[in-house]
Amino acid sequence: MFPKKRERVEAEVPQAGMADIAFLLLIFFLVVTTIDVDTGIGMQLPPPPDPDQEPPPIRERNLMNILVNAQGMILINEEPANLQDVQRLVMDFVDNENRAQDPNLAEDPRSAIVSIKTDRQTPYEIYIDMLDEVIGAYRELRNEAAHREFGVSYMEYTNRVPREDNVIRQMYPQNISLAEPDPGS
């Protein structure tokens, strides 16, 4: 009845432009992406103090008091010090057990506490410099311990073991206390 008029034309979407669209999107995401990683000094804050509970007693020899005033002057256990010496002083204090065994310094690294206190007017920059030195001291100590015990650098050691099994971390816990700043002058 109805004679075939013509062959059916196959519907086709042109695909030549697809690569161009993909390129365009690619370039957009390339431009938008920031590959840079955030870097900084990681810290763990303590929970807020419980008013009903007395703070645990600390033996005086286990506490290293670092005071930094608004001019960047440093007092360590009431004695003035230079920023360059801080790392060495902290290492001597924390690792006293394996070093000088001075009766005035910490009993062992686990009970050693480094307390950093600033004035309210102290610039952030100076505080970070101070914190950097203290963290540097702990890093150095952990590195030494890793070389002594396992013969590898601390960084390599942390890559090998999970965080819970990290004995060096337990050996030298970073007990850094950030005291509330003085109102200052």
Residues lying near another protein in the complex (CB under 8 A): 18-19, 22-23, 25-26, 29-30, 32-35, 37-48, 71-72, 118-129, 131-132, 135-136, 139, 178, 180-181
Closest to another protein by CB, 28 vs 104, is: 28
Distance CA 83, CA 71 (A): 12
| Distance in angstroms (rounded) separating the CA atoms of residues 143 and 139 | 6
Q: Least CB distance from residue 3 to another protein, whole Å?
A: 40
Shortest Å distance, C-beta 47 to another protein: 7
Indicate the burial class of 178 (C-beta count within 10 angstroms; 0-12, 13-18, 19 or more): middle
User: Least Å distance between CB 165 and another protein?
Assistant: 19
Pairing status of strand 63-68 against strand 113-118: parallel
Q: Which is nearer to another protein, 99 or 120 (CB)?
A: 120
Residue 74 corresponds to which amino acid? I
* Residue of 112, 109, 113 lying closest to 170 (CA atoms): 109
List the beta bridge partners of residue 81: 74
The CB-of-84 to another protein minimum distance in angstroms stands at: 11
DSSP H or E segment with residue 74: strand 74-76
What does the block give as tokens for 77?
Answer: 């256990």
Q: Which CB atom, from 96 or from 133, has the smaller least distance to another protein?
A: 133
> Between 26 and 58, whose beta carbon lies closer to another protein?
26
| Closer residue to another protein (CB): 9 or 24 | 24
Residue 11 CB, nearest distance to another protein (Å)?
Answer: 21
